[in-house]
A and B are shown apart, each in its own frame.
Chain A
Amino acid sequence: MTPPPSSAAPVETPITAQKKGIQLEWVRRASVVVGVALLFIIFSVLTSSFYQPANLLDILLQSSINAMIAVGMTLVVMTRGIDLSVGSVVGLSSMIAASLLQGNLVLGIAAGMLIGVFCGLVNGFLIAKLKLPDFIVTLGMLSIYRGAALIYTDGKPIYGIDPLFRAIFAGEVAGIPTPVLLALAIAVLAFLLVRYTALGEQIIAVGGNEEAARLSGINIDRVKICVYAISGLLASLAGFVLIGRVGAAEPIGGTGFELQAIGAAVIGGASLFGGEGNPLGSLVGALTLGAMQNGLTLLNVPSFWQLVATGVVVILAVFADQATRRRK
């Protein structure tokens, strides 16, 4: 088309509004950086051990389980969903894996991962196909999967995790704990998924505007089911790290992990409004929460108070998200 020269439409240069949006985004990012820096400074001043390399490595290790779950949570949150069942999936899949490990290492790992994926598929199916609210579905599943884990061994823990399994999921490579490497690899893969694949873009599209995605012919149900399945899979891997480190599997393992993961995802830049988020950011989010808990422990703050602190930080992060991203 050759637009008639006289119809040169007034080209709006949206400098002011664009600037405003960018500024808010920077304020939010900067507040995370400043918050983390403050945490490190405060804890380094108050304790003599916080900034020691050994302790910093410890923080990385302690945060890795949450980081793995948070990557899956980030993808779910990006579709404007939420997965409250992840902690129970950790418990159930690690129990199944632990029970089968004793006979066959590969079987144990495969079964644990399959259970994780299956749990996610059930969540996704109920949410996408039956159009049930994600919050209620995954809250119900939180109870069901936990119940299943308890029923499986009648509430008893499983001791004696295979040494090779422990070496894989809780060992070290060149002085770096494998859980840290695993979390890093997962986050990078998820980042590439979002950036370079059709599914990744469709995740953003579904979360950014579900109706527009649907009217563009995107299979919304498939996208949703996929992210819940990924979330379940990553929860099962986190479960492996958990039992690898502890050396035993408990049916109540992973209790309360969902809040930590949501917190890490939101601190890392995932928006509960959907459409925005970064799997690499969730690493930062998990580290922030991990550093805080580590520092509080070093300061001898009772663990009950740490629960309170975690809740406060998560709510603050969500508040920042709402304040900077709310649109008319």
Chain B
Amino acid sequence: MTNSSQNMQLQGGDSSSKPLLELRSITKAFAGVQALKGVDFDLKAGEVHALMGENGAGKSTLMKILFGVQPPDSGTIAIEGHGEVAIDDPRHALALGVGLVSQEPSLVPQLDVAQNIFLGQTDALSVVKRGEFRARAKEILKPLAPRLSVTTRVSSLGMAELQVVEIARTLARGAKIIGFDEPTSSLTPAERDGLFALIRQLKGSGKGIIYISHRIPEVYAISDRVTVLRDGLVVASRATSEIDPDELINLIAGRRLAEELHHPIKVDAGRGGSEALKLEGVCAAGKLYDINLTVRPGEIFGLAGLVGSGRTELVRCIFGADRKDAGTIFVNGKPLDIRRPSDAIAAGIALIPEDRRKQALVPVMDVERNFGLANYGQYASSGFLRLKQRRKDIGRYIEEMAIRPRRAGVRIRNLSGGNQQKVVIARWLQSGARILLFDEPTRGIDVGAKFEIHELMRRLAKDGCALLVISSELPEVLALCNRIGIMRGGRLVNTFDDCSQLNEDLLMKYASGEVALV
């Protein structure tokens, strides 16, 4: 930490100008988890500063603090021309010249491009000067995307164009500092190159850019400096050219996980001909088209694809959380009519959803009750709970899975992400699930626990469970899965039974459709 901040000062040598932005000793805790433990970060004019780290390292929290979504617990924010500031809300951040291009554009689909660019800038009572706005919008867009019409409805735009509108919106308010939060997660490589050209242009005009990503090649392509966060601390902050990619992986993931990613530990692939889960022609209007796949017991099947390619929709459909319109789901060879989650649960299927807090946990309940949520069949006799039995069972899982703290009576929201995830997995193991659908199993989980979750998943496969795993972290998919399927636009476009020849770059290209199908 001290080293890195010294480093940063030395780095400042290349330009003597005061930084545009200076964050000092920022700390933030959320219900029990210290998300930021004293983070320093600065940004100069005309610089692209990459912010890296695994999910849960603290990147998003830092950005939320900078853009006024949440206040820090302690620490200072200084912005050139304003001095030390307390940023109250995103509006205030914009007024201070700080804009964010978020992962999911927050635009109003029913309004046109010009209206979105000037959204919130009009006085509620004044007459909207549409013509004037359009002219100004055109002017702002001219260098960015001369062909984009300002009168197009935003609902008809693609992802790349939406980002351009978001960028224009921050520029319309005179933003000098622009943050990009995982801007390429739903872009094709061609669109990505377009975005990079745009970022270089912004950089040339003296803006400071914060570029958040966990894709290493992108960071080398676009950034001047890189700061790596791990578990809420800055572990490095240096010129990008001074770090080699292997070191960067180590810094981001920690050595243990980095080794795992370098040398995938695969479980023995599926046993014989039996099919734990089989989909035939599964369709859901507008979301999924003719999905066929098979997962065998003891197998970890990975689903890769861009955000919005239909992966989450597919597992929700299998689990009965969303409707399917056609196709058949076979469990252990028998066709099954799954209409609601309880049908899937009865058939031994479990869903470990992507957003734990919103979809898997009841935050006001304690660990034991969250564990019991899917198991009332076991723990209730004629309506009354068998509390002793349940307490005994969760105690066993707490020991076996090393869940911390060890007490079953603490509210689940006070556990770290990794421990929460273990409780969710324990819930489903107790329910007797043999087919586990994991949607982003290590999202928001710190690095040490990530490895534990991976080990746990491998052990489940060894025990003969069938695992279907979605992950946007391609190294994770490569390290964990026996077979990998690639989804694009709601279709399963390719399945690899042998993953030894695959790498991150290749997966990206398949996922975006730049490489023709095999």
Could you tell me which A residues sit within 8 Å of B by CB distance? 1, 3-4, 6-14, 16-18, 21, 196-199, 201-202, 204-205, 208-209, 211-219, 275-276, 327-328
Residues of B within 8 A of A7 (CB): 256, 448, 451-452
Residues of A within 8 A of B360 (CB): 212, 215
For residue B372, which residues in chain A have a CB less than 8 angstroms away from its CB? 201
Contact with A along B185-216 (1 / 0, CB 8 A): 00000000000000000000000000000000
- The A/B interface has a contact count, at CB < 8 Å, of 136
Known: A198-B379, A208-B365. A9 touches B404 (CB 8 A): yes
From B29, B30, B374, B451, give the contact of A216 (CB < 8 A). B374
- Complex CA–CA separation, A9 to B400 (angstroms): 15
- A3-B455, A14-B31, A216-B427 given as contacts; is B449 within 8 A of A9 (CB)? yes
Known contacts A9-B446, A197-B383, A216-B374; A17 and B362 CB within 8 A of each other: no
Given A198-B383, A199-B383, A201-B372, CB of A10 within 8 Å of CB of B353: no
CB atoms of A215 and B379 under 8 A apart? no
Q: Is B333 among interface residues, defined by CB-CB distance under 8 A?
A: no
- Closest residue of chain B to A206 (Cβ to Cβ) is B362
Smallest CB separation, A264 vs chain B (Å):
21
Interface size on B, residues (CB 8 A): 56
In the assembled complex, B115 has its CB within 8 A of some CB on chain A: no
**Distance from A3 Cβ to chain B, minimum over Cβ atoms (Å):** 5
- Cβ-defined contact, A209 with B404, below 8 A: no
Q: Of B363, B411, B446, which is within 8 A of A10 by CB?
A: B446
Mask, B388-411, CB within 8 Å of A = 1, is 000000000000111011000001
Closest Cβ neighbor of B316 among chain A residues: A215
Besides A18-B31, A215-B341, 10 more A-B contacts (Cβ < 8 Å) are: A7-B451, A7-B452, A10-B446, A13-B405, A196-B384, A197-B380, A217-B341, A217-B342, A327-B31, A328-B30
Is B364 within 8 A of A213, CB to CB? no
B372 to chain A, nearest CB (A): 7
Report whether B455 and A1 are in contact in the complex, using a CB–CB cutoff of 8 Å. Answer: yes
Most buried by A among B34, B358, B364: B364
A218–B385 Cα distance when bound, in Å, is 15
Taken residue by residue from 245 to 286, chain B's Cβ proximity to chain A (1 for < 8 Å, 0 otherwise) reads as 000000000001000000000000000000000000000000
The answer to whether A209 and B363 touch (CB under 8 A), given A1-B459, A198-B385, A215-B353, is yes
Q: List 27 A-B contacts (CB under 8 A).
A: A1-B455, A4-B256, A7-B448, A9-B446, A14-B33, A17-B30, A17-B31, A17-B33, A18-B31, A197-B380, A197-B384, A198-B376, A201-B376, A202-B376, A205-B373, A209-B361, A209-B363, A211-B358, A212-B361, A215-B341, A215-B353, A216-B341, A216-B345, A216-B373, A218-B342, A275-B364, A275-B365
**Known: A17-B29, A216-B374. Is A9-B448 also a contact (CB below 8 A)?**
yes
